[in-house]
Amino acid sequence: MTTIDQEQDSRNWERQGCELCQQGQYIEALSVFDRVIAIDRKYSTAWNYRGNALSGLKRFAEALASYDRAIFIQPQYHQAWFNRGLLLAEIGAYGNALESYERAIAIVPEPQYLHAMEDIWLKRKLIA
């Protein structure tokens, strides 16, 4: 199989995994993303989506490791930074979530990133 064929195969599997996640079929999606990663260990998008599937399964430590891997491979991957922040916020690690959101915003100031950051500030005020 040529490199181009492998890339196309990976993209097709990635799409299938995303569809499974959207349907709440996280175990199946995880299997698909693992298959994509087996084809290309440096495919940061697959690591990010793998983190999403693991988050859906409430397997937070593994999800965090997947987001970290995506970021290690591609440090400017703003969506992985954002997803990392979402996970950290969900487990109540607000300070770390803010740091992840700040990294995402520094790369691309998406409105949803800014809103998520404001939400964390509000939660921290309510808890304090």
Cα–Cα distance for residue pair 127/55, rounded to 1 Å: 24
Q: What domains are defined for the chain?
A: 1-63 (1.25.40), 75-128 (no CATH)
For 42-55, write each residue's pLDDT tens digit. Answer: 999 999 999 999 99
Dihedral sign, Cα of residue 92, residue 96, residue 100, residue 105 = positive
pLDDT band at 3 (very low <50, low <70, confident <90, very high): low
What's residue 8's pLDDT?
A: 64
